[in-house]
Amino acid sequence: MAVILAARRSAVCPRGGAFAHLRIEDMAAPVMQAVLADAARLAGLGAGDVDEVILSNALGAGGNPARRAALLAGLPETVAGMSLDRQCAGGLDAILLARALVDSGAAEVVLAGGAESYSLRPLRAMPQPGGGAPVPYEQAPFTPWPDRDPDMTVAAAALADRLALSRAGQSDWAVQSHAKARSMPDWPEIVAIHAVARDSFTRALTPQIAARAPVLSGSISTATAAVAADAAAFVLVVSDRIAARSGAVGKGLRILAGATLGGKPEEPGLAPVAAIAAALGKAGLGPADLAMAEVMEAYAVQAMACVAGAGLDPAIVNIGGGALARGHPIGASGAILAVRLFHGLHAGKGLAAIAAAGGLGTALVVSR
């Protein structure tokens, strides 16, 4: 059974903020080095022990950023690096893929996570079949059918309407997310990059401020949608043999199960519900067995719907605040959930879950 032995992340900075000048690898490499430094203290592992790097990235337009990050982090040139694009779910899927490599015996030490520079994402334009100037676009197509491929905010608004989740209720969720993030003691998870060691978006959001936030679509406002952001997060996944040899078994998280499932493409917000049920089922657990859960807050309505649909206890969800209080660095967001879980789960079982464009959901179940 694979073990997460160490986990770190950068701060999350909104697009155009403190990390606006940093390339993907500029954020990823310091985090990877910090994870390896933790592993060296815990288990005597070093860069030369790493078999593979798996990096999730959604906006970088190719070039295998995993390889670039591995080289900049000082890993051996023999580490090829594998880049993954599963949009928002990619950070968790990178960890599940690392687990599969370890459980199969194909690798014993894998760095897995994600990095995203929303600030430096390439400009995108689609050539026209009949000629003419390419047409710029913001959202890539996630299905072959335009009528089943809504804008993410429009889809969130439709979900709120269908589930009768009011703007006020969504605002309350966002206010609580910021409040929990402000009141939570710092966890030793953030690697300072250019002296930035705190999530810069977290603020004293009040119901009054949330009520005045501009509307994006329907009941969705700027207060109840996570801001685009830049960040990186990684974990070190090792085999039982490596963990046992180093005497570090009790210091990590055992990966009990995971699942990635597709649902209705036009309703991505609910996709994690089935993934959560599948992952818990594989682990032989139910929602009541969980001591902590990290659930993505791309939108307040999406988090609310998933918590209710999966039967999770809201009291254990996002105890240190969620993405509404941090921001959403797409390819890194799932890995950030796992890092938060690593540092916040002191005993028992934990869950990380995230939705992705195209109707995808991923869930990870771990045990301390």
- Catalytic, out of 13, 178, 306, 328: 328
Please name the residue that has the structure tokens 């797409």: 330
* CATH code for position 336: 3.40.47.10
pLDDT < 70 stretches in the chain = 246-249
pTM as predicted: 0.96
Residue 194 lies in a domain: no
Residue 255 lies in a domain: yes
Per-residue model confidence (pLDDT) at position 187: 74
Per-residue model confidence (pLDDT) at position 342: 96
Q: How far is CA 91 from CA 198, 294, 326, 331, 336, in A?
A: 20, 13, 16, 6, 8
Residue 299 lies in a domain: yes
Largest CA distance in the chain: 64
Residue 215 lies in a domain: no
- pLDDT tens readout for residues 320-357: 999 999 999 999 999 999 999 999 999 999 999 999 99
C-alpha 298/C-alpha 319 separation (Å) is 16
Active-site residue flag, 328: yes
Residue 154 lies in a domain: no
Domain count, the chain: 1
Per-residue model confidence (pLDDT) at position 139: 84
Per-residue model confidence (pLDDT) at position 185: 75
Residue 137, Cβ density class (10 Å: 0-12 exposed, 13-18 middle, ≥19 buried)? exposed
Residue 142 lies in a domain: no
Residues of the chain above pLDDT 70, percent = 99
What residues make up the domain containing 33? 3-121+225-367
Question: Is the CB of residue 30 less than 8 Å from the CB of residue 217?
Answer: no
Active-site residue flag, 343: no
One-letter amino acid identity for 332? A
Q: How many residues are there in the chain?
A: 368
C-alpha 55/C-alpha 75 separation (Å) is 14
Residue 133 lies in a domain: no
Per-residue model confidence (pLDDT) at position 307: 98
- Catalytic, out of 13, 88, 178, 306: 88
Residue 139 lies in a domain: no
Per-residue model confidence (pLDDT) at position 248: 67
C-alpha 170/C-alpha 172 separation (Å) is 5
